[in-house]
């Protein structure tokens, strides 16, 4: 009996290649110490993360520090990001820092997100999800999708 592994999908497949390339180029401009392959991996996982947020509103999913770089980069391209959110979630997927969230370990905060990515069929780049805590790289503390109500608990 032969057992086959199910194929996984890439986050980047949901975005036009020229937009993906533009976002990767922006990451490289902002982080001159990154290699192109690394920036592409970040953007791929950020797109997968946003898609998982789209189908799991209110699930308190969080990006890793590396993945958050891609999410921030995409959000700064507001028109593309808004269109993407509408197409993926039929709503805008907000990014809000949780300034008063209690400190938690990466396993507590990132494990549910990695599980959701796997359940959704995405390839999970474990290096990007395990190298750091869930604290946002550019905000005061962890960042999440705020769900549908615009409230804090995401």
pLDDT tens-place string over residues 127-147: 999 865 444 444 433 444 444
Residues 136, 65 contacting (CB under 8 angstroms): yes
Closest by Cα among 81, 7, 94 to 47: 81
Range in 18-22, 51-55, 92-96, 122-126 with the lowest mean pLDDT: 92-96
Backbone dihedral angles phi then psi of residue 49, each to the nearest 5 degrees: -60, -45
pLDDT tens by residue, 18-43: 999 999 999 999 999 999 999 999 99
Task: Tell me what pLDDT residue 147 has.
Answer: 44
Q: Is the pLDDT of residue 51 over 60?
A: yes
Which residues make beta-bridge pairs with 97?
143
Per-residue pLDDT band at 2 (split at 50, 70, 90): low
Closest by Cα among 18, 116, 5 to 67: 116
Task: Tell me what pLDDT residue 1 has.
Answer: 57
The DSSP letter of residue 33 is T
Residues 61, 112 contacting (CB under 8 angstroms): yes
Write down the domain spans for the chain: 11-145
Per-residue pLDDT band at 58 (split at 50, 70, 90): confident
Closest by Cα among 144, 146, 138, 133 to 64: 133
């Amino acid at each position: 009996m032969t057992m086959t592994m199910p194929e996984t999908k890439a986050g980047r497949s949901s975005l036009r290649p020229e937009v993906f390339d533009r976002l990767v180029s922006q990451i490289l401009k902002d982080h001159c110490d990154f290699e192109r392959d690394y920036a592409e991996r970040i953007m791929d996982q950020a797109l997968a993360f946003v898609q998982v947020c789209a189908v799991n509103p209110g699930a308190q999913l969080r990006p890793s520090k590396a993945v958050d770089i891609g999410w921030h980069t995409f959000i700064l391209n507001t028109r593309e990001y808004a269109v993407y959110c509408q197409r993926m979630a039929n709503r805008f997927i907000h990014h809000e820092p949780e300034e008063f969230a209690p400190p938690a370990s990466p396993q507590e905060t990132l494990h549910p997100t990695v599980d959701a990515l796997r359940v959704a069929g995405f390839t999970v780049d474990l290096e990007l999800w395990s190298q750091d805590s869930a604290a946002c790289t550019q905000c005061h503390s962890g960042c999440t999708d705020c769900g549908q109500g615009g409230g804090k608990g995401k």
